[in-house]
Amino acid sequence: MALTQTGMMADLIRKRHPALDVELRVIRTKGDIMQNVALSVIGGKGVFIKEIEEALLKGEVDLAVHSMKDVPAELPDELEISVTPEREDPRDVLISKENRLLENMAAGAKIGTGSLRRELQLKNRFPGLEIVPLRGNLDTRMKKLETEGLDGVILAAAGIARMGWTSRVSQFLSADLLLPAVGQGVLGLETRRGDIRSLDIIAFLNDPVTFVEVGAERAFLGRLGGGCQLPIAAYAKKDGERIIIEGLVGSLDGKTVLREQAEGNFRDYQAIGRRLAESILQKGGEELLAEINN
């Protein structure tokens, strides 16, 4: 999956700069290697990007392509997410046996996901389902639908689309039903701060609307101190001069969900994201996160 999305960006750069020599470098991260271990057990932030960032810092590569939902709120001072191409579908999808919908699943049906964010929301909305931990690349997770006796798996719509598997989707899950992860559906291009040459090469890929929306979501995440392993969700949408962001924090058992919304002028996108986080923290989010972190 990572190689697919990196290849997409490389092809666009080659088309824009035909004289440029673009080389792909595959770097396996801890998250890639430890696919049979839950992210919460691996621990630490940036399990899908740390080794890649180390290569950037050493000058071994000039550009990293990440799924923004895997990027922690805090980056090394020497690095930055300089470009975000236009967002793809931010929703989650259900792929199930016999194309059953979530609301039509029988009590005790087994649904696979490796995301605490998805897990708590599913437990809150569909308490009769059994949530089964799921890791591995997309192909591995799809195969586990059969090999582990699952009734369905929940995955990111954007990843499924990039693999050309949209026809396998049983149900697209709206943000009202399952609030997406911060940055879901967005690729982030990371460079060394001050690397003007690389930035000039990739600047054409940036979508300013996506940059603002993801910036608001990441400001929300940053104030909560979260990474991709915590049960935190947020989705921002720019509407003219306004931006609206919805955020969520919940307990692992799904019994408590704090979900709120904030809006304001899009130029204040980071402040609006932080304000939403402050509101949730004051209404019990701080205690919830402290309990999860412990």
- Look up residue 39 and give its two tokens: 């992210």
Q: CATH says 2-88+182-293 is which class?
A: alpha beta
Contact 257, 127 (CB under 8 A): no
pLDDT of residue 129: 96
Q: What is the mean pLDDT of the chain?
A: 90
Q: Is 1 helix (H, G, I), strand (E, B) or coil?
A: coil
3-class SS shares of the chain: helix, strand, coil, % to 5:
40, 20, 35
pLDDT at residue 278 above 60?
Answer: yes
Is the confidence at residue 3, as pLDDT, over 90?
no
* Domain chopping of the chain, boundaries: 2-88+182-293, 92-173
Q: Are both 2-88+182-293 and 92-173 of the same fold? A: yes
Class of 92-173 in CATH: alpha beta
Q: Dump pLDDT digits (tens) for 80-94.
A: 999 999 999 999 999
Higher-confidence residue: 13 or 293? 13
SS3 164: coil
pLDDT tens digits, 220-238: 999 998 665 678 999 999 9
For residue 82, the one-letter residue type is S
DSSP 8-state symbol, 251: -
- Catalytic annotation, residues: 70
Residue 95 in tokens: 């792929």
